[in-house]
Amino acid sequence: MSEPDSIPALPKPLEMAKLCISRAVNQGDIVIDATLGNGHDALFLAKLVGDQGKVIGFDIQQIAVDSASQRLANSGLNNYEFHCKGHQHIAQEVDESVSAVMFNLGYLPSADKSVISQKETTLIALEAAMDLLKPSGVISIMCYPGHQGGEEEAYAVLEFTSKLERKLWRSVKYGFTNAPNNPAFLILLQKM
Ligand SMILES: C[S@@+](CC[C@H](N)C(=O)[O-])C[C@H]1O[C@@H](n2cnc3c(N)ncnc32)[C@H](O)[C@@H]1O
């Protein structure tokens, strides 16, 4: 098992996502980054799957796709296929099974903060990702209830995942209890 470097004993939510994803992914696997943003998560995934694997990425903003592509290229990686398209279209673009899917919801920090992921499309994408996931695979969803529009989405994801059949899905919530301003939380799903 390879684990991301420099994760403390009690990880932050995104670090916990990476830790759990790293336990479910092997070199050569195909994985999805459903919200590319600036490509930090895609870079993590691309290193994890190695040059025999592939990261399939989605973002609705060209600036995000360009930024993520540049980040991977700067690291000498070309094991990716990025789409400037909403993640609600995952099922049309991906026909391989995947071992992990990362969602990092909300807005692109360096851009227009009114462009945010939306409850309806996020839930469509999440169900498509669940269909594509291999047994034992992991989906991570970073939820941000603290920004305008984020609360409705975050709690919709929480409600949806809380109703999943326990024999089929392990569903876990993780986050700080003592951080201010309705802090981010992580939901992790593992297919049984
Ligand atoms: C918090 S950022 C992602 C951070 C990113 N994973 C990283 O490592 O830098 C959220 C991203 O979701 C994107 N987004 C919003 N709605 C989307 C949708 N329907 N499909 C795909 N991406 C979407 C935004 O454009 C934004 O870039």
Per DSSP, the three-state class of 187 is strand
DSSP state of 174: E
Calpha distance 176→180 (Å, rounded) = 9
Asked if residue 143 lies in contact with residue 154, where contact means CB atoms within 8 angstroms, the answer is yes
CA of 59 to the centre of ligand 1 (A): 5
Mutate to test the pocket of ligand 1, among 15, 82, 110, 117 (most ligand atoms within 8 A of CB): 117
Going residue by residue through the chain, which has 192 residues, state the pLDDT in tens, using 9 for 90 and above: 445 667 789 999 999 999 999 999 999 999 999 999 999 999 999 999 999 999 999 999 999 999 999 999 999 999 999 999 999 999 999 999 999 999 999 999 989 999 999 999 999 999 999 999 999 999 999 999 999 889 999 999 999 999 999 999 999 999 999 999 999 999 999 999
Asked if residue 49 lies in contact with residue 27, where contact means CB atoms within 8 angstroms, the answer is yes
pTM above 0.95, yes or no: yes
Question: Which region holds residue 158: left if phi is over 0, alpha if psi is between -120 and 50, else beta?
Answer: alpha
Mutate to test the pocket of ligand 1, among 15, 59, 127 (most ligand atoms within 8 A of CB): 59
Closest ligand 1 atom to Cα of 122: 19
CA of 167 to the centre of ligand 1 (A): 31
Calpha distance 41→181 (Å, rounded) = 24
Calculated CA dihedral for residues 146, 147, 149, 154, nearest 10 degrees: -30
Q: Specify the pLDDT at position 1.
A: 47
Backbone angles phi, psi at 143, to 5 degrees: -110, 140
Asked if residue 3 lies in contact with residue 47, where contact means CB atoms within 8 angstroms, the answer is no
Q: Whose CA is nearest to atom 27 of ligand 1?
A: 37
Calpha distance 109→111 (Å, rounded) = 6
**How many CA atoms does the CB half-sphere of 59 hold within 13 Å?**
28
Closest ligand 1 atom to Cα of 142: 1
CA of 115 to the centre of ligand 1 (A): 9
DSSP state of 116: B
Q: Specify the pLDDT at position 8.
A: 85
Calpha distance 176→64 (Å, rounded) = 28
Ligand 1 binding pocket (C-beta < 6 A) is 35-41, 58-61, 64, 86-88, 104, 106-108, 115, 117, 121
CA distances from 3 to 50, 71, 161, 164, 170 (A): 14, 21, 26, 28, 21
CA distances from 94 to 50, 51, 130 (A): 19, 19, 12
